[in-house]
Amino acid sequence: EANGAASVKYRKKDLLVTMHRLDHELITLDKRLGQETEEGAKTSIKNQISTRENALLPVYEQIAVQFCELHDTPGRMKAVGVVERVVEWSESRAYFYWRLRRKLAEFDLRKKIVEAAEVGRGVKAPTVLEASALIKEWFIETPGMTDDQWSDDKVILAWMGQHHSALEEKIMSYTKSCVAEEVAQVLTAGGTTGRVGTSGIVEGLGRAFASMGPEEKSKLKKAILEALQ
């Protein structure tokens, strides 16, 4: 808290030093005190200094607290990159309504991307930040969309709604690429891992093939032959 920080970092002795550096009246009194030789006059000046310090102390304490609060103000937080923008109170309800809707939709899509890569041990699933970066990449690749529009929640929601089918296809394509990468890594691993993995893949294909109907078997054979050409 700012009050606690001020009481620790800017104690009374520090405030007094600041007063004597900035306040013209105290500067004048300090100068007079240094030049005065009579004890009675010195005592009088010291009393005036003490009175002035006591009068200024509450003000300087408030200034110290305000100074400690500066790092937590919206403007400062934006300046250091902690927040993207400062939302005015009058528009906060609408802003956070659209922001929440956009984030929920984005998180749902991001979850699908992360889960798509969880096909085995060989493929490293993307982090949530990497998944978000991939979504942004898909967005920018869409004709008419720009990098600047990525921060517009309404635009993102409209894009997700209009391109729902295309996004589902991208997820399917991403899943397929992850599965293909996993299989390729197993088959080319070498050693015991490669032998066991290859045997497991072949056995799995055999089991799946046995449970398929004639049409599905034909499609699988054709797909395998095309992939091996």
Decide: pTM greater than 0.75. Answer: no
Tokens 């979850």, residue? Answer: 111
pLDDT at position 98 is: 95
Higher pLDDT, 187 or 159: 159
Read off the pLDDT of each residue in 26-35 and give the average, rounded to a whole number: 91
Q: Which residues contact 100 (CB under 8 A, 6 or more apart)?
A: none
Q: How confident is the model at residue 131 (pLDDT cuts 50, 70, 90)?
A: very high
Residues in the chain: 229
Using the predicted structure, report yes or no on whether residue 186 has a pLDDT greater than 90. no
Per the CB < 8 A criterion, the answer to whether 98 and 153 are in contact is yes
Using the predicted structure, report yes or no on whether residue 194 has a pLDDT greater than 70. no
Q: How confident is the model at residue 116 (pLDDT cuts 50, 70, 90)?
A: confident
Read off the pLDDT of each residue in 166-179 and give the average, rounded to a whole number: 88
pLDDT at position 125 is: 80
Q: How far apart are CA 202 and CA 184, in angstroms?
A: 13
Read off the pLDDT of each residue in 99-126 and give the average, rounded to a whole number: 85
Using the predicted structure, report yes or no on whether residue 187 has a pLDDT greater than 80. no
Using the predicted structure, report yes or no on whether residue 195 has a pLDDT greater than 80. no
Read off the pLDDT of each residue in 168-172 and give the average, rounded to a whole number: 91
**What's the whole-number average pLDDT of the chain?**
86
Tokens 């009194």, residue? Answer: 29
Query: What would the pLDDT profile of 56-109 be if each residue is shown by its tens digit?
Result: 999 998 888 888 777 777 777 788 777 888 888 899 999 999 999 999 999 999
Q: How far apart are CA 33 and CA 21, in angstroms?
A: 15
Using the predicted structure, report yes or no on whether residue 153 has a pLDDT greater than 70. yes
What DSSP string runs through 63-119? Answer: HHHHHHHGGGSHHHHHHTTSSS-PPPGGGHHHHHHHHHHHHHHHHHHHHHHHHHT-S
pLDDT at position 183 is: 78
Read off the pLDDT of each residue in 183-193 and give the average, rounded to a whole number: 72
Q: Which residues contact 218 (CB under 8 A, 6 or more apart)?
A: none
